[in-house]
Homo-oligomer: A and B are copies of this chain.
Amino acid sequence: MKFKRSERLIDMTHFLLERPHELVPLTFFSERYGSAKSSISEDLTIIKETFEVRGVGTIQTVPGAAGGVKYISKVNVSSAKQMIEELCGHLENSERLLPGGYLFMTDLLGNPQLMNKVGRLLASAFADKEIDVIMTVATKGIPIATAVANFLNVPVVIVRRDSRVTEGSTVSINYVSGSTKRIQSMVLSKRSLKEGSKVLIVDDFMKAGGTVNGMKNLLEEFSASVTGIGVLVESESVDERLVDDYISLLKLSDVNEKDRQIKVTEGNYFQSNLSFLS
Contacts and interface: CB of A to CB of B under 8 A. Distances in A.
Contacts of A17: 14, 17
Interface string A75-119: 000000000000000000000001110111111001111011000
A115 B146 contact: yes
A5 B7 CA distance: 12
A111 B155 contact: yes
Given A7-B46, A9-B9, A139-B138, A56 B107 contact: no
B10 A155 contact: no
Interface in A4-21: 5-7, 9-11, 13-14, 17-19
Number of copies: 2
Given A9-B6, A166-B104, A167-B104, A110 B191 contact: no
Nearest to A18: B116
A72 interface: no
Interface in A38-65: 46-47, 49-51, 53-54, 56
A157 interface: yes
A167 B7 CA distance: 47
Contact of A99 (B111, B143, B165, B189): B165
A156 interface: yes
A163 B107 CA distance: 16
